[in-house]
Amino acid sequence: MASFNAFRVFVAVYRAGSLSRAAHDRHLTQPAVSAQLAALEARVGEPLFLRTPRGVIPTERGKLLYAQVAQGVDHLQAASAALRSNPAQPGPLRLGLTPEVLHGFALPRLAGLPGAVHVTFGEDRALLTALGSGTLDVALVTTEPEGRQLTAQVVTEMPFALIGPPNWDPAPALPAALGAWLNARPWVSYSVERPVTRRFFTGTLGQRFEAPQALVAPDLRAVVRAVTLGMGASLVPLFAAQEALDAGQVRELWPARSHIPAARWWLAQRAADEARPDLHTLRGALQSRPLRGGKEAPSLPARLHSDWMEPTRQRPDNTDSS
């Protein structure tokens, strides 16, 4: 009978797609991983992976075996970890996301979450790398992770809002007239590329984006603040503008959200951690609605800690504010 360690190594290789990465994840040498895998293949009677210059690809027999044993391996590993841990002093939940998403979307939903939360700021690529290496438990990203090591579930679809200062004249209702109207007014952007804005202008308004640029600031909070100060219009994710819209500090110029595909936000975790109760609790909290009706959501307990992962920020294409 094959040992549990052999199945654990097999699952690690399947998810990592590489013997060397699986060895790193399991804190083993590559020869030890190769030996465990060879013994399991001898027991099964056929290869479980095809070796390629870029890693390994599971055979049909490997896919079938993974479907049979992966969940059991994960449950046994979770039970083993629980036996080793001190339930009276659980570790913090290590969550990765951007500062704007924490402030405008996640924070009201995290209020009341049991246990401590340790937040790390970064962009999708860095967060998913940290998740794969084990320095994060979960990440809220706009990019569905590739490969078999990480899994993700959509927790929300975030629409965009076309906003401007409240004292501007009403915008034209017809798309062609709206394009000319906006191009004659200043614009505030998160980045100089403005992919969402350019697609909105060409695809919906039928015009090239040519508005004079008043400000480029790689922080959605600064973008919305600039709009409240009358510096220009902008196209931002609704979560970033909702508080200012509710307070009447900005207004929605035109119902752009019905013409722009909403951005999907994924909650990503390691495949081995899918059964963790704290991740299920977090997913449910992020899928819930925060307290509204004029009442401010309670602030997160002082146990929340945050730090920066990287100073250089490159926003994914589907979340660029404008």
* DSSP for 126-143, written as a single string: HHHHHHHHTS-SEEEESS
Domain with CATH 3.40.190.10 in the chain: 93-157+262-319, 160-258
30 confidence band (pLDDT: 50, 70, 90): confident
- The C-alpha atoms of residue 94 and residue 118 are separated, in whole angstroms, by 5
For residue range 244-299, list pLDDT tens digits in order: 999 999 999 999 988 999 999 999 998 878 778 899 999 999 988 664 433 433 33
For the chain, residues classed under CATH 1.10.10.10 are 4-84
* AA identity, residue 194: R
Domain 4-84 listed as CATH 1.10.10.10 = yes
Pick the CATH number of 160-258 from 3.40.190.10, 3.30.413.10, 3.40.50.360, 3.90.1150.10: 3.40.190.10
pLDDT, one tens digit per residue, over 147-179 is 778 899 999 999 999 999 999 999 999 999 999
How are beta strands 160-164 and 117-121 bridged, if at all? Answer: unpaired
Q: Tabulate helix, strand, coil % of the chain (nearest 5).
A: 45, 20, 35
- For residue 244, the model assigns a pLDDT of 96
pLDDT of residue 8: 84
* Distant-in-sequence, close-in-space partners of 288: CB < 8 Å, separation ≥ 6: 109
Are the C-beta atoms of residues 100 and 221 closer than 8 Å to each other? yes
Give the architecture-level CATH label for domain 93-157+262-319. Answer: 3-Layer(aba) Sandwich (3.40)
- Sign, CA dihedral 190-192-195-196, equals positive
Q: What pLDDT score does 96 carry?
A: 96
Q: Is residue 291 within a helix (H) or strand (E), and if so which, with residue range?
A: none
